[in-house]
Structure 1
């Protein structure tokens, strides 16, 4: 049964992956057609075609390997300086440029001269190339909101899990009290496990972060606490101690190994699944986007540890880069967890949402062959044309993105090597969640 559920989790992820890819390419397709660009193919997957159907100018289909997708637009690159599109050079670098240029025109038909991608204004080309990643961003936001507002997320609550008998600096890393340790304010006030703190010093406490900040800011004060116990509300009074406690960053996350002096009540908060309102959801997603950007910037620095995890005896860190195989294994593992089905579904959706957010950020890198590379090329063309107009110089014409194809091949080669490294690590030393 466990194996069956593991396979089911992988199948669910594979389906979500296909939908995400198709959704991405739909953004490119719809905007290209909106601006009159001819699109001969819209394909989900790579390799041999297993199904296709032609409608109008476009062949729609599914290919055998569900690891990507593409649309083909005619005239992605402008003709060469001589106006020819099939000239072939003996130089390998020049050959790459001319191969790319030739491929962009290989399905040119009479009347297509006005339907070429490169003939569209730069702002239209930016929209076409941005539309794909933007669709992934829309999907990620929608999925995150579904989980945050519909299912809720695991977090600390205002319910008391346990009471600390004494005041111990959190930096000391000990549980046992000494005779010299003063009683904790929570214990002295008569708080008990299971109490839900309704208000603190006259202010409502609906979430843990609010309560935590109020406690930290009240060192030395005697404050009234309203707790709910067995369906009744009781008012307790506690003199908040000053203690060395874990530092929190602007997002309310504890900073590992750093401590500050602040107010201390002396209890552990229970955790539970809590639904977020729209404002809290937006704040949470903003923090996650920031985390994702930081992770993308830090990606090169993680390669040595990833190599050691794949080919050495190094551990696989929880924040280690993970590919499609790794994500599929995680979803398979989620399906086998002994948790409510609603929480399994929420975790599935979270993984898929994170995958779409990663697709958006990765594709926005200003490097060919990524969408961000074509966007950068269109923006550069717009800049130099506008600059020429202001300086009353001749129009420099379209920027020939094809000239960057040698760089694109190098970038693609690096991506392929990195993908293979992640794949090996995902197979031999996968990230695990349980």
Structure 2
């Protein structure tokens, strides 16, 4: 009989077992040649993280098909663009009025000639659904050479095939024309302008409940550096013309919106903190770049530089090596100076010098967009080296930055 195991809700936020890792493992398995999914809501985040194994999967002649719901603006245009580009076939399911019925399954099936596996539960195809949310379900493994397993597998597969257009009138093949129609009708979320809704939440929040404060959520995996493109301002000249080995899997989708930057910082005594021009190139919308304002030099003979005007309003929270917040270093609703120094292609932010002096070198800054209704622009959480969350966030930093003369280069990543 099929082997059934349970996906426990507690295991995703703690990082013990995540659906994204299960999907990535199946895509790399030689046992499977077909991948079929049906989800109510989809964002580009998990698809971006699966880009490399998906392309290798297809390059080896294997097939991926997906059925997506688009009710309640739960699916983004970026996710569907990805499916149009990277999937063999994709479908849309929508009842004329979502008030009558909502497409809401979460089903992932892999199979080959002899083995099959299915995941059925509450996991939408979003970063939260596949990595950080409390989600539950079942994992069912089949040996197709056993008659009883094969019968049960066909029952599971029919959960997917019964949704195809020939059996379900609410489903239609996704084509560029169909995509354009739904986009024109305003039925698809645009993640590029909605990162405050779609970004992973910061993992510690002010709370009066000790039990809630003590529960730590492991960060989601970072976006693979191989699929990030420099999309702002001038293109990356070196990457376009440099001799040497080419990227094995070139990026197709140019923008993967992210609402959270994770970066190591080395604060200067005057309060300046260098971020990264690479980060601006990869995700200019996160910084609202290019900046509309200009600095006002103290001396008229000095050069003026692009500045974010008005100053972004941020909430700054600092955590020590034991993971405890430091109330004396909190800066609520702080006016953050953000300047782009063109001569050296540097973006700098400025905090209080007394705050900067308290932050150890190579601490991790997690800079995130809040909910759209918030009255400020960024949450900024700083983690001293030594804490568990510092280690978790450090593992997200999968891009090495130019050292700039420092004893070791800093790192950064996007969630």
TM-score (norm 2): 0.24
Relative to its length, the structure with more helix (as a share) is 1
Higher relative CO (Cα under 8 Å, sequence separation at least 6) belongs to: 1
Larger of the two Rg values belongs to structure: 1
